[in-house]
Chain A
Amino acid sequence: MIGELDWRRPHPLTVLVLVASFVTGNGFPLLFVFAFGGGLGFDTLAVAAGVVTIGFGALGWFMTGYAITDEAVHYRSGILNRQARSIPLARIQQVSVAEPVLARIVGLAVVQVVEASADGDIEISYLGKDDASALTSRLRTLARQHEAVVVDTEPGTSSLAPPPDPPAALLHTTPTNSLIVYSLAAIAPGLILLAAVAFATVVVVALGVGVLGALVAAGVGVGLLVLIAIFTTTNLVLVSGGFRLERSPRSLRVEAGLLSRRQVEVRPERIQTLTVSSGPIVRRLNLHQIAFSAATGKAATKNSPIVQLSPAASTDEVGRIVQGSVDVDPAFAVELEPVSVLTIRRQLVRAAVIYLLVLLPASVVLWLVHPLAVLAPTLVWWPVAVWFARERHRQLGISVDQRRLVVRRGVLEHHLTQVPLGNIQSVSTRASLFQRRLGLAHLIVSTAGVGPSNHVVIPDLPVARCRELELQLAEAAASTKWELRA
């Protein structure tokens, strides 16, 4: 039956992208054959390699096809290992457009069709930009119509297609300069720490080797710090640049990236958890990152703009963005209940273990450099460890009401996560030997979300409270229905 479909091929320039991505990826050694083959008298080899590569690219394009029927999206590809996949229109979870760098250069894009199953998605690569956006909006409309037909099974309801959505309202854009400020502020604590370590090294070198060696070491250190700052900031700007968040009645649309641009559509009801985070300096500048975990699509990494409502939003904006996207408040004002103060003791035991295993041996090495340096690790480690343990306890807090669980944690970077109780999938507890001796346990609350923030761990609750919360959260989850088609 699949053979009778109206198969269409991707854009012909796909050949170029396939060849280019092969050469820059696995076929990297081929570049040398192309570049130097002639000079070394391997003309024939160079030409043959070129012909074979272009041939494979062309064949790859020729053998790829997609078709859209009234029921499903079909895709087939592969030269030797042929693959065919179909996603029924009613099962489409998400349609998005991505523009990887190589494709972007020649004006092409990928259309990704995501299904709820783990079988994988369909990626139609590559189409012209206009074709891609036309296909995307067509698929979105088709998916919506099918959903409407599935839902409207009550007698007497109209089976007409739903009216087209009103245009999406722009909820948030992140200006590039606030991304740069955010990036520098976010890495500043790490850089300061690195600078402190570097300074200590320079002092040790000065004592051991002499002033000239110390100056060289200082120069190298400063150079490295600047390089790290430039690299990280450039990376963030390239990945999250031009961030846009739009809200239409049914969905949220996230768009980001300067080189590879991605656009993702998420239904607000699929969002399982929401986390507002900020580092120590970022906080002083009133900036926050808002991330979510949704029950759809592939796992994305923590700093991917695809799982964010904003990569850098000012404090005043956060409430409006969160409210506008998922109709809840960001939980800034919620009163939090602290966890057991014994968590400080557990943290200090950890610090002692690290001290014995790492810092004490390091002290011995330093003693060889200079007898005075032997005290440095001890003098630095313990004040930091004590401050860290106390600050961690001070920040840790939870709150449960009828609707949601709110958890705050983090020492330098603070994370405020909220989970609507209806999204909880399972609750578990975990208590190590040492925790049991202190009468503590971890509570782990899992949701159906994908990605790094799809669960929350509440550390070191008193055992009785942990058990009480475990049952309370399970009870709340058991009394609500949860399904993907919300």
Chain B
Amino acid sequence: MTAPAEPIATNPLPSAIRTLWRVVAVVQAVVIVVAGVVVGILGDLFAATIGLVVAAAVFLALRLWVINLAFDRWRWGIDHRWIERRSGVLIRTTQVVPRTRVQTLTTKTGPIDRWLGLSSIVIHTAGTHTPNLTIPHLENEAAEQLRSELAG
């Protein structure tokens, strides 16, 4: 029986992605509040509007806090044996995929990812239950390096 190795998942996600998550959260909150205020003014619902704004503010604060926690918890790493990922705020998960079991690699970039120069790597293994291991929003260079290392 081998002694437990040190965790290799030590790389955080690029900090640009935390900024992006925050911006998205703020924009969504602002859109909801603006829509609510417009409806409130038209419908003459003063109390409900105030309630909505307060609820949105509390929810936004909570969400920003969770974003921070999620970002801090996200770690990934790779060595000659396997790829490892750790994440989760309430429910914490780790995932280890041996390199000999990697079947397919997918690189994904959305429009915002492209604009920020980020891309996600999805690592597939065989089988229907095995979840895919996704390392999201890596800087392009790091993603390319990871991809070529795993493919090579």
Kindly list 7 other residue pairs between chains A and B, CB separation below 8 angstroms, not including A425-B97, A426-B130, A448-B125.
A424-B98, A426-B96, A426-B97, A426-B98, A429-B95, A475-B81, A478-B99
Question: Do B2 and A475 touch across chains, with their CB atoms under 8 A apart?
Answer: yes
* B interface, CB within 8 angstroms of A: 1-2, 4-5, 81-82, 90-101, 125-131, 133
* In the complex with contacts A426-B98, A482-B101, A436-B92 CB distance below 8 A: yes
Nearest A residue to B80, CB-CB: A478
Q: Is the interface of A mostly helix, strand, loop or mixed?
A: mixed
List B contacts of A479 (CB < 8 A).
Answer: 100
* A interface, CB within 8 angstroms of B: 272, 295, 299, 424-433, 436, 441, 446-450, 454-455, 464, 467-468, 470-472, 474-475, 477-482, 484
List B contacts of A424 (CB < 8 A).
Answer: 98, 101
Nearest A residue to B3, CB-CB: A468
Give which listed residue, A425, A468, A481, contacts B4 with CB less than 8 A: A468
Question: Do A474 and B81 touch across chains, with their CB atoms under 8 A apart?
Answer: yes
* In the complex with contacts A470-B96, A480-B100, A484-B126, A433-B90 CB distance below 8 A: yes
List B contacts of A427 (CB < 8 A).
Answer: 95-96
List B contacts of A484 (CB < 8 A).
Answer: 126
* In the complex with contacts A426-B101, A468-B4, A472-B2, A478-B82 CB distance below 8 A: yes
List B contacts of A446 (CB < 8 A).
Answer: 125, 127, 129-131
User: Considering the chains assembled together, what is the distance between the CA atoms of A30 and B37 in angstroms?
Assistant: 56
List B contacts of A426 (CB < 8 A).
Answer: 95-98, 101, 125, 130-131, 133
User: Considering the chains assembled together, what is the distance between the CA atoms of A272 and B125 in angstroms?
Assistant: 14
Question: Do A448 and B98 touch across chains, with their CB atoms under 8 A apart?
Answer: no
What 9 A-B pairs come out closest when comparing CB atoms? A478-B98, A448-B126, A448-B127, A446-B130, A428-B95, A474-B96, A455-B129, A425-B125, A478-B81
Nearest B residue to A463, CB-CB: B92
Question: Do B100 and A478 touch across chains, with their CB atoms under 8 A apart?
Answer: yes
The CB with the most chain A CB atoms within 10 A, among B5, B92, B128, B133, is that of B128
List A contacts of B2 (CB < 8 A).
Answer: 471-472, 475
Question: Do A295 and B126 touch across chains, with their CB atoms under 8 A apart?
Answer: yes
List B contacts of A436 (CB < 8 A).
Answer: 92
User: Considering the chains assembled together, what is the distance between the CA atoms of A479 and B2 in angstroms?
Assistant: 13
The CB with the most chain A CB atoms within 10 A, among B91, B97, B129, is that of B129
User: Considering the chains assembled together, what is the distance between the CA atoms of A428 and B98 in angstroms?
Assistant: 11
Question: Do A425 and B128 touch across chains, with their CB atoms under 8 A apart?
Answer: no
Question: Do A431 and B127 touch across chains, with their CB atoms under 8 A apart?
Answer: no
Nearest B residue to A455, CB-CB: B129
List B contacts of A471 (CB < 8 A).
Answer: 2, 4-5, 96
List B contacts of A468 (CB < 8 A).
Answer: 4
Shortest Cβ distance from residue A299 to the other chain B in the assembled complex, whole angstroms: 6
5 A-B Cβ contacts within 8 A? A299-B128, A425-B97, A441-B92, A474-B97, A478-B100
Shortest Cβ distance from residue A87 to the other chain B in the assembled complex, whole angstroms: 18
Question: Do A425 and B127 touch across chains, with their CB atoms under 8 A apart?
Answer: yes
Question: Do A482 and B127 touch across chains, with their CB atoms under 8 A apart?
Answer: no
List A contacts of B126 (CB < 8 A).
Answer: 295, 425, 448, 482, 484
List B contacts of A433 (CB < 8 A).
Answer: 90-91
List B contacts of A299 (CB < 8 A).
Answer: 128
Shortest Cβ distance from residue A54 to the other chain B in the assembled complex, whole angstroms: 40
List A contacts of B97 (CB < 8 A).
Answer: 425-426, 474
Nearest A residue to B86, CB-CB: A429
Nearest B residue to A478, CB-CB: B98
List A contacts of B100 (CB < 8 A).
Answer: 477-482
Shortest Cβ distance from residue A440 to the other chain B in the assembled complex, whole angstroms: 12
Give which listed residue, A295, A425, A428, A432, contacts B94 with CB less than 8 A: A428
User: Considering the chains assembled together, what is the distance between the CA atoms of A481 and B126 in angstroms?
Assistant: 13
Shortest Cβ distance from residue A79 to the other chain B in the assembled complex, whole angstroms: 32
Give which listed residue, B5, B90, B101, contacts A477 with CB less than 8 A: B101
Shortest Cβ distance from residue B94 to the other chain A in the assembled complex, whole angstroms: 5
List A contacts of B82 (CB < 8 A).
Answer: 474, 478
Nearest B residue to A466, CB-CB: B94
List A contacts of B127 (CB < 8 A).
Answer: 272, 295, 425, 446-450, 454
User: Considering the chains assembled together, what is the distance between the CA atoms of A479 and B101 in angstroms?
Assistant: 10
User: Considering the chains assembled together, what is the distance between the CA atoms of A447 and B82 in angstroms?
Assistant: 16
Give which listed residue, A272, A432, A480, A482, contacts B91 with CB less than 8 A: A432
List A contacts of B5 (CB < 8 A).
Answer: 471, 475
Question: Do B130 and A425 touch across chains, with their CB atoms under 8 A apart?
Answer: yes
List A contacts of B94 (CB < 8 A).
Answer: 428-429, 467, 470
User: Considering the chains assembled together, what is the distance between the CA atoms of A399 and B76 in angstroms?
Assistant: 29
Nearest B residue to A451, CB-CB: B128
* In the complex with contacts A475-B2, A475-B81, A448-B130 CB distance below 8 A: yes
